[in-house]
Structure 1
Amino acid sequence: MAKPNPLQEQLLKAGLVKKSKVSEVAREQLKAKHGKAPAAATDIQREAERVRAEKAERDRALEMERKVKARSAELAAQARQIIADKKVPRSGDIEYRFTADGAIRTLLVDEALRKQLASGALVIARQGDRYELLPRAAGDKVRERDAALIVLDHGKAADSEAAESTSEDDAYYAQFQVPDDLVW
């Protein structure tokens, strides 16, 4: 057993503490003195931890990027499937011209399809290197998934132009009549 220090001896002589209590405190002090202290982290351990944290962050970023790519591929596949399922069969001998990718393209349609295209009831969507006619509802679904696939939509263009024009312009241009048979 460790020898009690002078203060402990004085407390024992004065009768303020018991010998068992002094022994217990002495044992605890001895353990604290000779016990193992937690080892300080070395430079190598800190560097290894930093590298682990950087790798975990890189892995999280790569996983997020992979998920974004997978989601965009999934949306593109859904858009292609909607176009394939909802396309309107074309027939006719009237050429309907529109611009896509900076070039004028032509679809052969009949009079009913031409009127629906002009009114905005039908939209033109790109599927690969072909162009398909879609009803407005299907065109809106495709636009939600991949807006770049919608090539021509007279309904949306009319909405945005109407919002931008003023009543003053409308009154001025109302005096000019546009011929009904204007087809370019």
Structure 2
Amino acid sequence: MPSLQDQLLKAGLADEKKAKAIRNEKHKKRKQQPKGTVEVSEAEVRARQAREEKAERDRQLNLERQKEAEKKEILAQIRQLVATNRLDRSRGETSYQFVHDRKIKKIFVDDTMVDQLSRGRLAIVFVNNAYEIVAEGIARKIMERDESSVVVLHDRKSDDQGDDDPYAGYEIPDDLMW
């Protein structure tokens, strides 16, 4: 069966020179095209995109798992700090009230603890659904890890006035009743 080009030549619609020029052009194009490059089909493109999307989802899941593991590790560190450094409140007779989650809470402590809590030398920490009292330094370490665990820690500088007290020179009368 003759080719379309042969049929056009026989019919007189094309001449031999033009046919030869077209064959030479096609031959040159085939020679110029590198042998390694093959047209990529749409299926391969979609498959590559799917692999890239899956890899991205895997990375995101991995990051979430790492964040969860870090949170658990931090919580374990806080629990250990509180367990080893909490103060004994078993002899507490005085109630100390404070605000946690917009609710007023009450714990029983002794008088020295009340004084130290108000001066910022002690702090109240909420861990394992319980309130514990720890020293200020331990509370600061806990705050570095998770600020929400420390419920009450008064600032020492604002409470202890010292030399800047404007009423330091005035004496309080003995018979003054509040």
- 1:79 paired residue number: 78
Equivalences, count? 138
Are residues 1:57 and 2:47 paired?
no
Q: With structure 1 as the length reference, what TM-score do the two structures score?
A: 0.64
Matches within 5 A, 1:1-184: 36-90=35-89, 91-155=91-155, 158=158
1:89 counterpart letter in structure 2: D
Q: CA deviation at 1:141?
A: 1.0
Structure 2 unaligned runs (5+)? Answer: 1-30
Q: With structure 2 as the length reference, what TM-score do the two structures score?
A: 0.66
Distance 1:156 1:148, change over 3 A: farther
Structure 1 unaligned runs (5+)? Answer: 1-31
Query: CA deviation digits over 1:27-79, x for unaligned, max 9?
Result: xxxxx69x955322111111111111111111111111111111112111111
Aligned residues: percent identity?
32
After TM superposition, what 4+ stretches of structure 1 lie above 6 angstroms from structure 2? none
- 2:11 paired residue number: none
2:134 counterpart letter in structure 1: L
Query: CA deviation digits over 1:101-127, x for unaligned, max 9?
Result: 222211111121111111100000012
Q: CA deviation at 1:134?
A: 0.4
- 1:26 paired residue number: none
Q: CA deviation at 1:97?
A: 1.1
Give 1 or 2: higher helix fraction.
1
- 1:5 paired residue number: none
Distance 1:131 1:72, change over 3 A: same
- Aligned-residue CA RMSD in angstroms? 3.1
CA distance in 2: counterparts of 1:82 and 1:121, whole angstroms:
17
